[in-house]
Amino acid sequence: MDVIPAIDILEGRCVRLYQGDYAQSQVFDESPVAVARQWAEQGATRLHLVDLDGAKAGRPVNQAAIEAIVRSVDIPVQVGGGLRDRSSVMDLLSLGVQRVILGTVAVEQPELVDQLCQEFPGHIVVGIDARNGKVATRGWLETSEVDAIPLAQQMADFGAAAIIYTDIHRDGTLQGPNKAALRELASAISIPVIASGGISSISDLLSLLALEATGVHGAIVGRALYTGDISLKEAVRAVGQGRWQDIPPDFGSSALA
């Protein structure tokens, strides 16, 4: 299972939101590039970037920062936020982004997702962000009447490479992932599911590792890395070993070196 650090970009800076609320943002670093290099040096095998300005505006905004990150690390980068047309997707792929994440268009323009999955096989991931099982759109500012599982099944049929599932009520709260929802979703589709939202400890990551057989193959970690609740080096090692007994009592409690 991949442990994937999240870098959320707002006004060119690395921030974290609380439950997707733009009014509750906390700046962790002025330089997303420096953060990306730090995570790559500490063992990340993939980075998850979110253009928060783009998600709100409905078009990519932080392309310069994204391009700088792609050029500064030698690991795959996936990007979401404001990708609602073919040209935006092509622009990011041309910058060297490996996978683009589509969210709002999966609800509002599913035919576009189908088209892009056929045109760029392996490069399209669908982000399903849910409040109480209903899919949120437009930077989490709106909540649709679409249920998460049927949407995931439709996107899998289109050929999406993976589904990123975020429980918005858990995001940024360090309350742990919604394992029941993840298990239900992963069991309903045949493509990989990546967990996001609420991961606060290496124990949380290992509990998700136990769901790997059901289809949960990755975990996006945000706030816990920035607060030091999780050490990326230790998390990568623990997940790689996959054994609870290898965790010392104070595992994940220290800040990043």
- Residues serving a catalytic function are 8, 129
Query: Which amino acid does the sequence have at 171?
Result: D
Could you count the other beta carbons within 10 Å of the beta carbon of residue 59? 16
What is the spatial distance between Cα 80 and Cα 168, in angstroms, rounded to a whole number? 16
Q: Which tokens is 83 given?
A: 């990708």
The DSSP code sequence of the chain is -EEEEEEEEETTEEEEEETTEEEEEEEEES-HHHHHHHHHHTT-S-EEEEEHHHHHHTS---HHHHHHHHHH-SS-EEEESS--SHHHHHHHHHTT-SEEEE-HHHHH-HHHHHHHHHHSTTSEEEEEEEETTEEEETTTTEEEEEEHHHHHHHHHHHT-SEEEEEETTTTTTTS---HHHHHHHHHH-SS-EEEES---SHHHHHHHHTTGGGTEEEEEE-HHHHHTSS-HHHHHHHHHHT-GGG--TTTT-SPP-
Nearest residue to 158 (alpha-carbon basis) of 186, 136, 126: 126
